[in-house]
Structure 1
Amino acid sequence: MSRSIDLLKKRYLENIKEKPDLFVGIELEYPVINLEGKASDIEVVKDLFRYLPSVLGFTIEKVDDFGNPIQLLDPVSQDTVLFEVSYTTIEFAFGRAESIQEVEKRFNFYMGMIQKKLGEANHAIIGSGIHPYWEKNENQPVAYARYQMLMAYLNLSRSKTNIDLHDYPQYGAFICGSQVQLDVSKSNYLRVINAFNQIEAAKAFLFANSEFSGEDWDTKISRDIFWEESMHGIYPENVGVNAKLFKDEADFFDYLNHSAIFTAERDGETYYFYPIRAKDYLGIPEIHAFALDGEEILLYPQEEDFQTHRSYQYQDLTTRGTIEFRSVCTQPLDRTFASTAFHLGLLLHLDKLEAYLRTAPFFTTVGRDYKFLRRQFSKKQLTDEEETAIVEFSKALLLLAEEGLEKRGKQEMAYLQPLRDKLGL
């Protein structure tokens, strides 16, 4: 086995338990808008982060280069409220919970405080996968090394003239997603990745919420294009829907070995460089890298650099023994937890889900190119035939998710109601 695969296995398999308890981990990102339709005032949002610790009892976990709080932690629940890439995006990363209701209760409490405070300055959080006034904002990264590195790395696309990438390397500052992490075991993590990879078309149909005003793209999920046609997507294995289902663990890690490493730390400084496949990384004698101020430097690959490896697949195996489902746009505020309930219910019914997917009529009609299907069923207009096929497929999945939640016995089925309404059930 290659050394790179060894290192990837160590990173991603170390914390997977054989029989984990099932907890729910939820991360929600939101744009903060100026209600007058102007650029968001980042001083208003910075001021919010100075105010929140006093009313919520959170501690300040991280500050930016100027001493402004950018990440707040509740020591009891382990909930975190932070800036995600820019000062106009707020993320709620909830500590692991036993039920969706627990998270919803805390979310509503935080939102009540936050919306009231933002409202005093005519600002608000809204449930959208893209900042509606992205064009008016500065779209600068938070003054913090990791975010500055990410934006600078994405900006390398401007010098990649031979590859067809979009013209919005600053997109990290204005797209927002809704992620859920669920515990998996050594024996089922690959099954989970494969099963959920097959349902991306339905998720595109059910959860699309990021139409982009800057281009005439025929999609309701511009986030997909931003990710895939940016520096993150130079190697297709690095991002989005997996191109294939995995036969076994070796097959999966071979795929992960084709994903990218693009950043490294030396003596507390963060550097970035053109992406290098994990499999090639240790064999490269030297790397032309950039410091955050743009200065060029030569780096020599080290095994420790695999500790910052991060792929952006939509079914993402994390270092915490969970799968993170990352393909859903931020949802309207009245359906915040529908996506969580959908994923959770299907995971609880994994055997039935797999059995259904083996013979689902949907795939007989449209084929099994999962990457293509995700893009196809996020289009703004579907044909009657496509609409019929995707609605039937989504209904079958929704019923499985409901059964799974019912079996779990925590009264979480109500969160699926917005999806029932959309599908006319």
Structure 2
Amino acid sequence: MRSRAKDLIYHHFIDKFLGKTGQYVGVEIEMPVVNLDKKPVEPDFAQAMFELLVDRFDFRPAKFTLEGFPIAVVKDNGDSCSFETSLNTLEFSMGRKRSIQEIAASFYNYLGALKKLEKKHNYRICGMGTNPYAQYANSTPLNTPSMMAKSEFLKRFTTHHDGEIFHSFSASTQTHLDISLPALPDRLNLLGKLAFVDGLLFANSLPFPHEQTSAWQAKLPLNLRQELENPTVCFRDTLWRLCESPNTEAYDQEYRSLEEVVNRLMDLKLFVVSDGKDRFKPIQPVEFSKYFADHNNLEEDIVCFRSLEPIAVSKYGTIEIRQTCTQPLAEIFIPTAFYTGISENQRKARALVDDFWRENKLEMTNSELRRKAVCQETIVQQATMNHFLTNLVAIAWEGLKKRNFGEENCLGRLIKGNNLMESPAKRQIRLLKDGLDYRDLILAYSEVEEKRERREPDGLSP
């Protein structure tokens, strides 16, 4: 007989995978909102963006702060746009579709309209994984029941005693993949193995720039200040590692069964629960299995429970890939295309990955390999890594071709003969060394490229 906790995990997570065929894909896109006047984002500008979406695209207001300020708008087709933690990050959650092109067409339509508005107000919606003007931003959480509870959690149960959520300065492109239930453990294992590949291909979050004022630096937690000089190309990883929120660490073991996936979810912790009214309260983090062993704790307390792992099992019956930095806006769907193709062609991908591990005698965990990748440390010889990445991209391209939606075109720079090892973060470093002004770099990564050329990965074979 299953325990109550296990029943809840099945009901809210595992059963959502039943009947899935793997055809659909979803994307959440977080983007820093940058006031080029080097000031906090003004509420009037945030409201103007929502008003545009409501007036032109039939969105409707759906969520508000306790003062009644709108922070989310939605459409009947499942698309939504919101500020989740603060006004510093705009997020589009695109309703699941059969093809990436369907999602991209809607997203770039919305974004194109917002781009015209932002330039009038001297703002930019930016394609970077960390907010480049973080020191000028207001890091106070939005006054919503869930954010107030999370802020209170930081004050009471972590070393972040001011309650400011500094990892809200990070931005990611989160890909959701529909997976059949029997395939769930193996697909999680494969995607976990690719954590370092994500760091090599898609890292796009440098540490906060060195022009920060000492007063702003002094506000940061000490351990975060000490990390500012580390040569990472994925500062998002650092922000999440130091945020002291539960459920953020990667699972570095191989899942051998669905039962082990269930047990992992039950080992994750609740730290914000219902207060019994209309709001939430923080608690000392406690494992899901232990919390719901107490029948006095209500099922509704699960509402704020989720995995924040780099590769997560979501409540939507999807695998959610959370580890990917937001890309330059013209390249925003490249990671989604890559992971969709890999998932579609998972047998070849798994064989290639297993061969790479065996031939190079890799004995590090997924997390250790990820750290080496984003800290620009050598994992294998560059020629060997280039060969592996090239073949992996070819496998992704082949998987997308199998889907027969033309999505292989969405792989963009990965199939255009560019240096695969130059992630957007490394490109940032190169452009800055070449003399590009930091403000111009922000502008460049904020541009939307309308025209996308069709290319095939000539000479590549899985």
Contact 1:224 1:240 in 2 (8 A): no
Over 3 Å counting, the alpha-carbon distance change for 1:59 and 1:341 in structure 2 is same
Alignment partners' CA distance in 2, 1:198 and 1:85: 30
Kindly report which structure 2 residues correspond to 1:383-398, keeping only aligned pairs within 5 A, or say none: 383=378, 385-398=380-393
- Letter paired with 1:281: Y
Alignment partners' CA distance in 2, 1:216 and 1:418: 30
2:426 paired with 1:416: no
Deviation string 1:39-62 (CA, Å, 9 cap, x unpaired) is 333332233223431122211111
Contact 1:45 1:88 in 2 (8 A): no
Over 3 Å counting, the alpha-carbon distance change for 1:248 and 1:417 in structure 2 is same
Over 3 Å counting, the alpha-carbon distance change for 1:64 and 1:365 in structure 2 is same
Name the structure 1 match of 2:327: 331
Alignment partners' CA distance in 1, 2:365 and 2:326: 25
Name the structure 1 match of 2:126: 126
Name the structure 2 match of 1:243: 252
- Residue 226 of structure 1, aligned match among 223, 227, 239: 239
Alignment partners' CA distance in 2, 1:172 and 1:406: 37
More strand by share: 1
Residue 314 of structure 1 deviates from its aligned partner by: 1.8
- Which consecutive residues of structure 2, in runs of 5 or more, have no partner in the other structure? 209-224, 422-456, 458-462
Kindly report which structure 2 residues correspond to 1:305-344, keeping only aligned pairs within 5 A, or say none: 305-344=301-340
Name the structure 2 match of 1:99: 99
- Residue 182 of structure 2, aligned match among 180, 187, 193: 187
Deviation string 1:214-244 (CA, Å, 9 cap, x unpaired) is 51133211211222232224xxxx2242120
Contact 1:362 1:389 in 2 (8 A): no
2:252 paired with 1:256: no
Residue 259 of structure 1 deviates from its aligned partner by: 1.1
SS in 1 for 2:353: helix
Name the structure 2 match of 1:11: 12
My pick for the range that moved more, 223-232 or 95-104, is 223-232
Alignment partners' CA distance in 1, 2:229 and 2:152: 26
Residue 160 of structure 1 deviates from its aligned partner by: 7.9
Alignment partners' CA distance in 1, 2:384 and 2:154: 37
Over 3 Å counting, the alpha-carbon distance change for 1:253 and 1:366 in structure 2 is same
- Which consecutive residues of structure 1, in runs of 5 or more, have no partner in the other structure? 162-166, 286-299
Deviation string 1:62-113 (CA, Å, 9 cap, x unpaired) is 12222222111122x2211111211121111111112111111111111111
Alignment partners' CA distance in 2, 1:273 and 1:122: 41
2:270 paired with 1:274: no
Alignment partners' CA distance in 2, 1:306 and 1:396: 42
Name the structure 1 match of 2:116: 116
Alignment partners' CA distance in 1, 2:138 and 2:279: 25
Alignment partners' CA distance in 2, 1:19 and 1:54: 35
SS in 2 for 1:340: helix
Alignment partners' CA distance in 2, 1:221 and 1:263: 28
Residue 389 of structure 1 deviates from its aligned partner by: 4.2
Alignment partners' CA distance in 1, 2:313 and 2:37: 41
Over 3 Å counting, the alpha-carbon distance change for 1:37 and 1:140 in structure 2 is same
Over 3 Å counting, the alpha-carbon distance change for 1:363 and 1:186 in structure 2 is same
Residue 385 of structure 1 deviates from its aligned partner by: 4.3
- Letter paired with 1:178: T
Alignment partners' CA distance in 1, 2:332 and 2:134: 22
Residue 307 of structure 1 deviates from its aligned partner by: 4.3
Alignment partners' CA distance in 1, 2:292 and 2:196: 37
Percent of counterpart pairs with the same letter?
26
Contact 1:29 1:330 in 2 (8 A): yes
Residue 158 of structure 1 deviates from its aligned partner by: 4.5
Kindly report which structure 2 residues correspond to 1:56-75, keeping only aligned pairs within 5 A, or say none: 56-75=57-76
Deviation string 1:116-142 (CA, Å, 9 cap, x unpaired) is 112111011010111111112111222
Name the structure 1 match of 2:446: none
Contact 2:151 2:163 in 1 (8 A): no
- Letter paired with 1:130: T
Alignment partners' CA distance in 2, 1:275 and 1:218: 32
Corresponding residue pairs, total: 400
SS in 1 for 2:182: coil
2:211 paired with 1:201: no
